[in-house]
Amino acid sequence: MKGKPFVLNAHGSLLGFKKYLSPGLHQVPYKVYDGLTLKLSARRADAVVVSSRFEYEDAVAFGIDREKLHIIPMGIDVPEETAPPGRPGGSPLRILFVGRLARVRRVELLLQAAKELKIPYQISIVGGEEKTASLSKGGYMRELKNLAADLGIADRVTFTGTKKPEELRSCYGNADVFVYPSLYENFGQPLLEAASYGLPVVATKVGVARELVQDGETGFTVGDNPREISDRLISLSDPAARASMGRNIRELSRKHFDWHNVIQRYIDIYRSF
């Protein structure tokens, strides 16, 4: 009789540390761990679930057979659509970032891009500071606040700190556009949350942004050039463009990331053994 299937969810990148930690001492603990464990759990699994193409590529590089790999994203409950409150003409563009504030997120690129904007805007940066590794340097939020002051935009940037889930819903619901200039994400749950609220996304090609962001249809993918981010934000200052992209990305999140769809895909894996 065949034993119960061993299905492993990577719950993050297996090699992400190589993307956001500098070579040398910072990477040693991760390499030692992989060496001591011989990567046995991943190798022995009957199936390995990853949440994005980003994670899939890392898993292959880690040494997992492609035949074992299944891409099943994180799920989300798409909120009921409500009509946005009326806003007077010329209102500031409400730009939102949500995420734990770690250097890998490169929020400074958003601030540098904002400096170039010639339109009214207001930025909300939601999240508390957190290191991505024990050896990472602290003080990132303080540096961001100092940068906003140095750029002369401190009066248009609000650092809200950590928010509870019910408070986050209000943050997404009151924003116009979501910006996520991260260097590396295996998935990036805030990207999916923003999409579910119908926010056009301006993001680097990380994590689930590669599945969600279709240039000119649901938002824009960008590199690490603040001017490029600024140009995309100016494009999204047009309410009609925002509304169209917002509808598209919301429908995309509903179609591919709804929890019912995600759970069924897990069930299908177990039934395949």
Mean pLDDT by 10 residues, the chain (273 residues): 76 66 66 66 88 88 91 89 63 96 96 96 95 69 97 98 93 96 93 96 95 96 97 96 96 93 92 89
* Whether residue 120 sits in one domain with residue 223: yes
Residue 103: inside a domain, yes or no? yes
pLDDT of residue 90: 72
* Whether residue 146 sits in one domain with residue 106: yes
pLDDT of residue 86: 55
Q: What DSSP character marks residue 85?
A: P
* Whether residue 120 sits in one domain with residue 217: yes
Identity at 213, one-letter amino acid code: V
pLDDT of residue 38: 54
Count of the separate structural domains present in the chain: 2
* Whether residue 17 sits in one domain with residue 113: no
Cα gap 91→76, rounded to integer Å: 30
pLDDT of residue 1: 36
Residue 132: inside a domain, yes or no? yes
For 138, the domain range is: 93-256
Helix locations, the chain, DSSP H: 17-20, 28-37, 40-44, 53-62, 107-115, 140-150, 165-173, 189-196, 209-212, 226-235, 239-257, 259-271
Sheet containing 93-98: order of strands: 157-161, 121-126, 93-98, 177-180, 201-203, 219-221
pLDDT of residue 63: 87
The backbone region for 48, taken as left when phi is positive above 0, alpha when psi lies in -120 to 50, beta otherwise, is: beta
Residue 200: inside a domain, yes or no? yes
| Secondary structure of residue 34 in the 3-state scheme | helix
pLDDT of residue 47: 93
Residue 1: inside a domain, yes or no? no
Residue 80: inside a domain, yes or no? no
CA 193 to chain centre: 9
Residue 40: inside a domain, yes or no? yes
* Whether residue 207 sits in one domain with residue 103: yes
pLDDT of residue 80: 79
Residue 152: inside a domain, yes or no? yes
pLDDT of residue 2: 56
Domain with 118 in it: what CATH number? 3.40.50.2000
Burial 126-145 (b: 16+ CB within 10 A, else e): bbebeebeeeeeeebbebbe
* Whether residue 184 sits in one domain with residue 115: yes
* Whether residue 62 sits in one domain with residue 104: no
* Whether residue 106 sits in one domain with residue 182: yes
* Whether residue 133 sits in one domain with residue 15: no
Are 8 and 47 spatial neighbours (Cβ–Cβ below 8 Å)?
A: yes
